[in-house]
């Protein structure tokens, strides 16, 4: 079954260029030219990926990303002319898996999408199908995480990081080690990307149980998962 990708972009030339490149890679391509259509298509179709432009008419891309994340863990790559670090961090805080600044190389966008899908599939196919640390449970096969049987909705990047920590409870993982899990040796979008994703995981865990503090920061080194 071919993977389906939604290109949410109001510029005709940009969307047509990306759709052509992804079609060559075997993707089923769909297009939305505004925020409302993006949300409607995402709710009505089973999507493998969304490339999301921020500056679309109607509902702004920031709000689209936040709305998508409230109901779905579909991977999202933000495409934007906004290149300030604060904008990138906001994108990750809202649940994006990657952030590419315009002007861009379509080959790089395709490569990043493949990398995100590949790491998701790699972690889903792992022999450790279910990991349990205390009341925290992670099911690789179904891509589910729960705390005391209460579901926690994580993005692909958050899922990968949490699973890495859960494979070795008590072990300190350095930031470079965690970055390598996300980006396979290539330069991350921003240096603080791991910190942003870890903060989001913590917030989601604490929304279920404020008495729980699973992830510990080891100052100057990285993070570990405590039972």
Q: What is the pTM of this model?
A: 0.74
Q: Are strands 49-53 and 4-8 parallel, antiparallel or unpaired?
A: parallel
Quick one: average pLDDT of 130-140?
A: 91
| Closest C-alpha among 200, 207, 208, 218 to residue 97 | 200
Quick one: average pLDDT of 112-127?
A: 73
What structural domains does the chain harbor?
4-121 (3.40.50.2300), 127-225 (1.10.10.10)
DSSP string, 9-47: -S-HHHHHHHHHHHHHTT-EEEEESSHHHHHHHHHHS--
Helix (H, G, I), strand (E, B) or coil at 208: helix
Whether the predicted pLDDT of 187 surpasses 70: no
DSSP 93: H
- pLDDT, one tens digit per residue, over 39-82 is 999 999 999 999 999 988 889 899 999 999 888 889 999 999 88
Instruction: Check if the beta carbon of residue 78 is closer than 8 Å to that of residue 50.
Output: no
DSSP 74: -
């Amino acid at each position: 079954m071919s993977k389906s990708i939604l290109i949410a972009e109001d510029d005709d030339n940009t969307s047509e260029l990306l759709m052509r490149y992804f079609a060559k890679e075997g993707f089923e391509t769909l297009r939305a030219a505004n925020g409302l259509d993006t949300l409607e298509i995402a709710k009505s179709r089973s999507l493998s990926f969304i490339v999301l432009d921020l500056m679309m008419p109607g509902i702004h891309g920031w709000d689209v990303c936040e709305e998508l994340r409230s109901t779905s863990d579909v991977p999202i790559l933000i495409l934007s002319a906004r290149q300030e670090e604060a904008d990138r961090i906001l994108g990750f805080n809202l649940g994006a898996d990657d952030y590419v600044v315009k002007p861009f190389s379509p080959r790089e966008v395709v490569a990043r999408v493949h990398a995100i899908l590949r790491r998701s599939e790699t972690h889903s196919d792992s022999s450790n199908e279910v990991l349990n640390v205390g009341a925290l449970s992670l099911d690789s096969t179904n891509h589910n995480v729960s705390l005391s049987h209460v579901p926690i909705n994580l993005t692909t990047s958050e899922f990968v990081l949490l699973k890495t920590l859960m494979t070795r409870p008590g072990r300190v993982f350095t930031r470079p080690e965690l970055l390598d899990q996300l980006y396979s040796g290539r330069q991350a979008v921003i240096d603080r990307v791991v910190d942003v994703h870890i903060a989001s995981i913590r917030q989601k865990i604490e929304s279920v149980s404020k008495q729980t503090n699973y992830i510990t920061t080891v100052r100057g080194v990285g993070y570990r998962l405590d039972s």
